[in-house]
Structure 1
Amino acid sequence: MSSQIPTLTLNDGIKIPRIGYGLGTANYGSECVPHVVSALKTGYNYIDCAQMYGNSKSFGEGFQQFGGKREDVFVVQKCGKTGTESHPRKTLETLLKEMKIDYVDLYLLHSPLLCKPLSLSEAWKVMEELKAEGLAKSIGVSNFREEDILEIEKTWKVAPSVNQIEYHPYVFHAANVQRLLTLQKKHDIKVEAYGPLTSLTGAKGGPADEVVKEIAKSKGIGESQVLLNWALQTTQGVVVTTSTNEERQKIQLEAVTKSITLGQDEIDRISEAGKKKYFRYRMTDVWDAAKP
């Protein structure tokens, strides 16, 4: 993997790059081979895929066009699609064929609402089996709430290595998110923050805008770089972002490779501004059913 991108060691010893390029959002449901190729050429070494995104074949084709070594790219897949029974084993076997690879570096249950007909604990047991067999080097969850992790905790032999959740200044302060983060810290379950640029893209005009602009101007960096580092520093985890624009791909990657650091006062200013607004952009069905 690229030595420029710092890594984080997960609770099972696997090292994960601290920034990933996602095939959801702008790439969702579309053929995106050129964007996979451009992301890899730009220097991303973590590609974030999902059954739900419907474009795993694009990763396989893009990776073949790029021509890199399998061990140099950290590949993430997620199990779960609305209206489809998503058995973790059958799903992964299909996805591996589509991507033309033998294993994934990290495999996630995409949502606690998309494991049926299995229970959460049954689904997690299958995940543990896939890890033991080497089809997934590491296993985790996505969009899991505090109550979901507590449910699988009753029977797990292996704790999730990550929980990939929406995380930005307008959602981190919710009580149920704060309880979740406390539980994750107890088990060293790392946060993978998706949607870290939501205040720039999905919730423009909010109370964090001016603060982020001021900090970006004072440091001579982009607003996206400010928000990516706020997420990295407040979670001590990983960020997943995306863009179909090559220049923005480069700018977002440089948020990590250029070792930008926010001061504690800058982090606090963004956090305090974020607390003035609540906005959730993704997986609202999951969180609408969560405890307050």
Structure 2
Amino acid sequence: MSIPTLTLNDGIKIPRIGYGLGTANYGSECAHHVTSALKVGYNYIDCAQMYENSKSFGEGFEKFGGKREDVFVVQKCGKTGTESHPRKILEGLLKDMKIDYVDLYLLHSPLLTKPLSLSEAWKVMEELKEEGLAKSIGVSNFREEDILEIEKTWKVAPSVNQIEYHPYNFHAPNVQRLLAVMNKHDIAVEAYGPLTSLTGAKGGPVDEVAQGIAKSKGVEESQVLLNWALQTTGGVVVTTSTNEQRQKIQLEAVTKNITLTEDEINQISEAGKKKFFRYRMTDVWDAAKP
């Protein structure tokens, strides 16, 4: 089983699917789920200070017994109600995880960099990359205006922007403007919540379309939606499940080379445009331009 990779704008290769420690794992001890995901075949684990379970990665990875260089580890800086100093936070997270570096380090939200400004926080991120504590650096939940703000002073552009992305929000004008700015700088999309139409917003217009495509291809509906996100962004998907069988099914969406036709992609996109739904980081987007 081979997981395809994407080469980021700094030359770092990232697996095109990651297993996230948020959502169902949020705030909980989940070492056994980390071990399970690694055994199933994931080689990218997505962590965050906000998830409050980074020690679980260290415990789960230690139990798994693999080589550090064989697993792509992502961490994110920022937590509501706390000050965000990217260096201090990363040092603590590395200690919790029992590793020496992360492959990708992200600012988790443009609203969670205080007492630093966005540009000041990004300067620290650039220093961490230069020192090798983070092989690659990026952002998460950044809007068009946030990218434009750090662009004024950056020496290194973010390699990724991890955003909520699925058929019910991709068509929003502020998302489309954001994608245009990201494309200009070759900033990759990391899509989280790609299965939202199947989970958090079930019963909408995408259901029937995705089910029909899945049936015609002999695959799972979740695999269709994951590939829609992969093919429309050309980027990476981050998903999660505490069920080992679901972990395997989601991983196989990428490893089994399931490809949607242009017509199938358009069918899902057009169905998605009939509804708007966003379920994460709404405080960020409520403050954004429409």
RMSD: 0.4
Matched, 1:179 2:160: no
Kindly state the Cα deviation for residue 189 of structure 1 after the two structures are TM-superposed.
0.0
Matched, 1:117 2:146: no
Q: Deviations over 1:92-112 (max 9, x none)?
A: 000000000000000000000
Q: Look up the match of 1:188.
A: 186
Compute the TM-score of the two structures, normalised by the length of structure 2. Answer: 1.00
Compute the TM-score of the two structures, normalised by the length of structure 1. Answer: 0.99
Written as runs of structure 1 = structure 2, the 5 A alignment for 1:1-292 is: 4-292=2-290
Instruction: Give, in whole Å, the separation in 1 of the partners of 2:255 and 2:221.
Output: 16
Instruction: Give, in whole Å, the separation in 1 of the partners of 2:82 and 2:267.
Output: 43
> SS at 1:198's partner residue?
coil
> SS at 2:198's partner residue?
helix
Kindly state the Cα deviation for residue 117 of structure 1 after the two structures are TM-superposed.
0.4
Instruction: Give, in whole Å, the separation in 2 of the partners of 1:12 and 1:133.
Output: 15
Structure 1: gaps (5+ residues): none
Instruction: Give, in whole Å, the separation in 2 of the partners of 1:107 and 1:148.
Output: 17
Instruction: Give, in whole Å, the separation in 2 of the partners of 1:127 and 1:246.
Output: 35
Instruction: Give, in whole Å, the separation in 2 of the partners of 1:288 and 1:81.
Output: 18
Q: Deviations over 1:56-77 (max 9, x none)?
A: 0000000000000000000000
What letter matches 1:233 in structure 2?
Answer: Q
Instruction: Give, in whole Å, the separation in 2 of the partners of 1:135 and 1:37.
Output: 24
Structure 2: gaps (5+ residues): none
Q: Deviations over 1:36-61 (max 9, x none)?
A: 00000000000000000000000000
Kindly state the Cα deviation for residue 86 of structure 1 after the two structures are TM-superposed.
1.3
Kindly state the Cα deviation for residue 233 of structure 1 after the two structures are TM-superposed.
0.0
Instruction: Give, in whole Å, the separation in 1 of the partners of 2:237 and 2:186.
Output: 17
> SS at 1:200's partner residue?
coil
Q: Deviations over 1:229-263 (max 9, x none)?
A: 00000000000000000000000000000000000
Instruction: Give, in whole Å, the separation in 1 of the partners of 2:239 and 2:271.
Output: 22
